[in-house]
Amino acid sequence: IATMRDLSKKHQLDKVVKKNNLDIQQCDVLDPLSIGKLSSYIEKTYKKIDVLINNAGIFLGGFFEDCSLDEMDAVMNTNVKGVFAVTKAMLPFLREANQGKIVNISSSSGLVPLPLVSIYAASKFAIEAWSESLSYELSPNNIYVTCIEPQIYNTEMLKSNLNITKGLKNKKGPNYHYYNFFLKQINKKQNKARDPKEVIQVIQKVIQSKSPKLRYKVGPSTMIKSMCRSWIPFSIYHTIVKKIFWKLVR
């Protein structure tokens, strides 16, 4: 079952549907009624599910000071509350199968927070902490919880879904003159982004595993950032990141 917020875009998946026997259903993770309709459909049609993949999420870039409360709410509601709501609705179907897997798409930002992505990083840190707690709670039911932690990949998050705070346009803002640097960095990442098939392969590995791990780091950038954060004393690491950041923006 693949869910879409907007079914008018369903035609984009026609080739995938034919090859993979997909059942496309509507679901908006921010709408309890939409989630409820999906639950009712699953109960009538399938009775149970084996795997839940929480992939809904949005990005927000920019200085925290420039982000509006509405922008923050959009990220936290989608990336955190929406994931909670869908998981809560699907757990009875996983229990019915007496086994199952919950795969949460996290991010390298959920491991190593960096400048200019504070709200997005906060949402992914929340998913990391929640997933770990949930993994203990569900272990007696033979339900595994896994976080996939990818670096930036070549997806719509860097294209049509790229979301930079509207505060960057405020010429009187204290950080206005730094955004040229930030946008250039985003453009570089777009050009160098890796094939998302790497992430799909890891998800397949989790689904096929009898006892998957809690966390899977995906991509060399994630590995490097994670190792630096783990191996270098934090006071030194923290100072290095600050110095590099200010050298770049100035």
Question: Is residue 59 within 8 Å of residue 157, measured between CB atoms?
Answer: yes
CA 145 to chain centroid, in Å, comes to 15
- 25 Cβ neighbours under 8 A, 6+ residues apart: 1, 2, 3, 4, 38, 41
**Catalytic: 136?**
no
The one catalytic residue in 120, 144, 153, 179 is 120
3-state secondary structure of 107: coil
If you ran DSSP here, which 8-state letter would residue 29 be given? T
* Residue-wise DSSP of 123-170: HHHHHHHHHHHHHHHHGGGTEEEEEEEE--BSSGGGTTT--B-GGGG-
Catalytic positions: 120
